[in-house]
Chain A
């Protein structure tokens, strides 16, 4: 029996209205993502990559179509329920400006669990473990401003994992890094994916990053043009 996909997108459309002109950013996307997948979404700018990521990340609502996560229709939820969903089931890594710069590294990492209402002891313990595992065990009390770009992204990775999410979404997570540091971040994500079976969906325009993923979704003009399966 084929297991149910973790995420299923059905006929996903997102139309932006600019003046009186409708601009379809996504024009009917169907996509299944299975447990433990490590995938990338690529395509030229304006192809709808970010729009798709925003919809999968419950940050935005589609004009029509559905996203099912573990079988339940995501956009039947109200805004507070979506916020709760993002908090408990998702992790986000953005290209830059991921962190609260005036707040310590450990507080940044703990934030999702603070929102979830976990005890301070639990938060601190888990945040320390995660920072340890991304190689920042010695920098927990630093401010993000004192860290390098690569280190800041590691903090963002640790934060994304804080509430043991089902899915981690990365929007150009290596976009602001040099290629060596970028590669380190990607291999960190891969390691986590293998260890924890967390789904990773990365939007990127960097073929080196895409090449590291199991499946590459190519978008063009708001549709999936083709899907590449990478050799494992």
Chain B
């Protein structure tokens, strides 16, 4: 009696753990999906980004830019130069991503970014800087790194005649941008330092080469069309991205990842099914006499089958429902832990912080997991139930 109750509880617990894990992992990947989707709010949907090809030596130059400007529908082609450098303000140092570009187009490229303090640097300003929010106000420090009107020293190392040489220049902070927040993960505006294009080419001595071009178009459809036009002209010499291709790319990676997590979780439920099988099978063996009795008083095969399949289904329903509930709690717990781990990793790499991404649970997910639990339970219960229904009443009744 007591053993039977315990076994039922354990069997349900197995289903619950499997279903819970599925719910949690599903919730986390859905949350991540949603989050990634939101990232691309930072990149205007009407922007096409051109970067040098990964397997190509073709450089992006002023000539490239003028070719692109002539493509029909292109509003403007804004080249940029980007490099990581060290910024020094007073005694503080910070690693920053310097972006030299014509700042009049900043709002087109990063919709939602505003000047919070001061002003943008003019197109030919050779000493003016505009700081991303987190550069000016580091989130992990109580005091601002720099203020409008303050002086910043930018330094970076180049190799000249096989000798490392540190280049150092002093700039003036002209403005500070509003905070973009976690949405700026792929284009970490908050951690960027902007200067004019000539100032950057001069500082980094780029010999007329650009890091890339932001092409501004009239809308998302235009962006797609122009992106394919550019691909047609340059082939694989350049990488051409739109916010849509970026989303697709990231979602493909996430899709593979969630498929992996999903299969891990379903394996746990399938393992649980072995438990259900063992539990029900033992129960059938234990209740052999009871089954014989039920047959004697007129239960048909179908009836016995129904009793045991019903039991399996009930295990699936209870386990699935509990799993859904436990999965929500588990999902939030895992998201917090994952956020902390990611936070530490990204801080070390100097990349933008994605600390906490909340899991997202959809009714479809709950339903899907519940149905999956029930189906797995029923499949696991099928054989024991069938065995029970086939018991010979004479043999079954003989058992004491």
Report A's interface with B, CB cutoff 8 A: 54, 57, 59-60, 79-80, 83-84, 86-88, 92, 94, 96-98, 100-102, 111-112, 115-116, 159
Contact = CB atoms under 8 A, between A and B. Distances in A.
- The dominant DSSP class at the A interface is helix
B300 A92 contact: no
B298 interface: yes
Contacts of B400: 96-97
21 contacts: A57-B296, A59-B295, A59-B397, A79-B300, A80-B300, A80-B301, A83-B295, A83-B298, A83-B299, A83-B300, A84-B300, A86-B295, A86-B296, A86-B298, A94-B296, A96-B400, A97-B289, A97-B400, A112-B297, A115-B298, A115-B299
Interface string B288-314: 011001111111111100000000000
Contacts of A94: 293, 296, 397
A111 B296 CA distance: 11
A118 B117 CA distance: 83
B297 A111 contact: yes
B1 interface: yes
B394 interface: yes
Interface of B: 1, 289-290, 293-303, 392-394, 397, 400
A79 B302 CA distance: 11
Nearest to A96: B400
B395 to A, nearest CB: 9
A63 to B, nearest CB: 14
B7 to A, nearest CB: 14
Interface centre among B290, B298, B299, B393 (most CB of A within 10 A): B298
A54 B303 CA distance: 21
A102 B297 contact: no
Contacts of A102: 1
B17 to A, nearest CB: 27
A59 B394 contact: yes
A105 B360 CA distance: 49
Given A84-B298, A102-B1, 11 more contacts: A54-B394, A59-B296, A59-B393, A59-B394, A60-B394, A80-B300, A83-B299, A88-B298, A98-B293, A115-B299, A115-B303
Contact of A79 (B290, B296, B301): B301
A159 B297 contact: yes
Nearest to A115: B298
Contacts of B303: 115
A87 B299 CA distance: 8
A97 B292 CA distance: 11
A143 to B, nearest CB: 10
A92 B297 contact: yes
A57 B293 CA distance: 12
Contacts of B294: 111
Contact of B298 (A60, A87, A96, A101): A87
Question: What 4 pairs between A and B have smallest CB-CB spacing?
Answer: A87-B298, A83-B300, A115-B298, A59-B393
A100 B392 CA distance: 19
B372 to A, nearest CB: 30
Contacts of B302: 80
A88 B299 CA distance: 11
B288 to A, nearest CB: 10
A87 B297 contact: yes
Nearest to B287: A100
Nearest to A100: B290
A80 B295 CA distance: 10
